[in-house]
Structure 1
């Protein structure tokens, strides 16, 4: 079971391929706040709803100084299909090895339909300009999460 991050922790560094295979690092966002959200799978109903919610609020978040990055265990090709099909504007990163998911506490045991399974724990980590964890939210709901996050961040 991976450890969950706490506010004040240094956010684990990562460099992962985006939907076009281009490497993106957490360090690329230094000096801006970053909302890093982890989701189980592209092209599934809940993950689509969440990605569309982030896309719909991207300008508001950017205006408040936040970049948004979504990470899943999908391969870049699937992320590209997801982006095209849903017209997404958030940066989607591929973590098929699940190393970044694990480092952020977003991969491990969870309960699904009453059974304990190992998988991606839908999570959102807000990283400040210095690369420190500002908020770490685990087991978030796909629907309504972005609206709640906007409210909590005062955006």
Structure 2
């Protein structure tokens, strides 16, 4: 029951944030793809692809785009965790791992003003490596 309420709350938040940044037609298409991901697993990944294309096409990015993509990833992966009946610990690990992108983005954003663009790539690579190590340690237990 808690898992379904968690998914419903995530769906509502994602739809509202999508509504804030896009016009009504784009919001309808993205919300429809997101709601279909509840029934068919691959629609969640189609939603993430559509969301990425829409963010690039409408030139929306920064914290808004990162937050929307992060919440979308959490929603799609939480659906999978609900289907397999994972423990609540897995939900917490997923949420913590994805939310780590927000402070990392702010660090890269502030560093990019003072250092060359190579730093952004290096910070992104370090994030990917740390995310891999986090999941490796969690799965190994």
**Shared fold (TM-score greater than 0.5)?**
no
TM-score, length-scaled by structure 2: 0.27
Task: Indicate the structure with greater helix content.
Answer: 2
Task: Indicate the structure with greater strand content.
Answer: 1
Larger RCO (CA within 8 A; separation ≥ 6): 1
